[in-house]
Copies of this chain bind each other. A is one copy, B any other.
Amino acid sequence: MTILRTVFFLSDSTAITAETLGHSLLTQFESIRFKENSCPFINSIEKAEEVKEQINLAKQKNGAPPLIFSTLMAPQLKEIIKDSDGFLIDFFETFTPQLEQELQSTATHAIGRSHGMGNFSKYISRIDALNFTINHDDGGSLKHYDEAQIILIGVSRSGKTPACFYLSLRYGIHTANYPLTDTDVDISYLPKSLKKFRDKLFGLSISAERLHQIRSKRYPDSKYASLKQCKFEAQRAELIYRQEGIPFVNTTNMSVEEIAITILQEAKLYRHL
């Protein structure tokens, strides 16, 4: 029998930090199923009381105390939650005192700073990077490739687009991507238009089986999704990377985050955010 535990992520801001912390801890308990509730913007006594009631209700329903991952700052609101029937993990209360001592400095205890707006020029960098990526997705417009910090290349469905958007949206990096089409990989040759940007190229490779699985989802039983075609394209793409000395990452077992961070690190990209 799978055990079910209710979980609450509480924050006076987006709850992104509370969720990140909670998720990385909870993925360590595979035998338990967690029913998650995200509670962002808990910034008033009314809202805190409301969440407390939800927590207490969940306790009544399940028997076991709900887990609470909290990044609340305001002492008044924290008191309300402490008084609930949940099992509380208070992120700031745990680490802030240690840091205050080590840094010989008092924490501001200001709410919701880490995913807030930040300064105007960072906001603009982020929007500019995102617009750049939108305009340079899938081989769109090579006109401004000299402004790209990195250009991802790979066969269709090797993971270029999500990695690109992740890099621009999260790190403000001007990222373009260019598909190696059947014709390019057929002749085992780097497309001419890319040659002068060789220093900015980064390849994505993928196993033929995985590519076949992904392509089949959208275009089942097509030549495009056939294992034979996928094998052909995957092998030729890797050959191009090796022949041209282009760094590449094998995306077969990687999440979007892992692909993006690997590229960030290997290409030594400067993060704007």
Q: Which residues of A contact B (CB under 8 A)?
A: 3, 5, 13-17, 20-21, 23-32, 38, 40-41, 65, 67, 71, 87, 89, 91-92, 94-96, 98-99, 102-103, 105, 107-110, 113-118, 120, 123-124, 126-127, 130-131, 134, 137, 161-162, 165-166, 169, 213-214, 217, 253-258, 261-262, 265
In the complex, the chain B residue whose C-beta lies closest to that of A137 is: B134
Tell me the complex Cα distance, A265–B41, Å. 10
Chain B contacts of A107 at CB under 8 A?
28-29
- In the complex the two chains form, is B28's CB within 8 Å of A110's CB? yes
Is B29 in contact with A99, judged by CB distance below 8 angstroms? yes
With A40-B265, A115-B255, A165-B169 as known contacts, state yes or no: A31 contacts B105, CB within 8 Å.
yes
Report Cα–Cα, A72/B257, bound state, in Å: 17
Question: Which residues in B have their C-beta under 8 angstroms from that of A25?
Answer: 92, 95-96, 99
**Smallest CB gap from A253: residue in B:** B117
CB distance from A234 to the nearest CB of B (A): 18
Report the Cα distance A40→B32, complex, angstroms: 28
Check if A258 sits within 8 Å of B115, measured CB to CB: yes
Q: Once the chains bind, are B120 and A261 in contact (CB under 8 Å)?
A: no
Cβ–Cβ contact B113 & A5, under 8 A? no
Would A108 and B14 be within 8 Å (CB), given that A89-B95, A162-B126 are in contact? no
Report the Cα distance A89→B21, complex, angstroms: 14
Q: Is the CB of B117 within 8 A of A13?
A: no
Residues of B within 8 A of A38 (CB): 265
B134 and A41 contact, CB distance less than 8 A: no
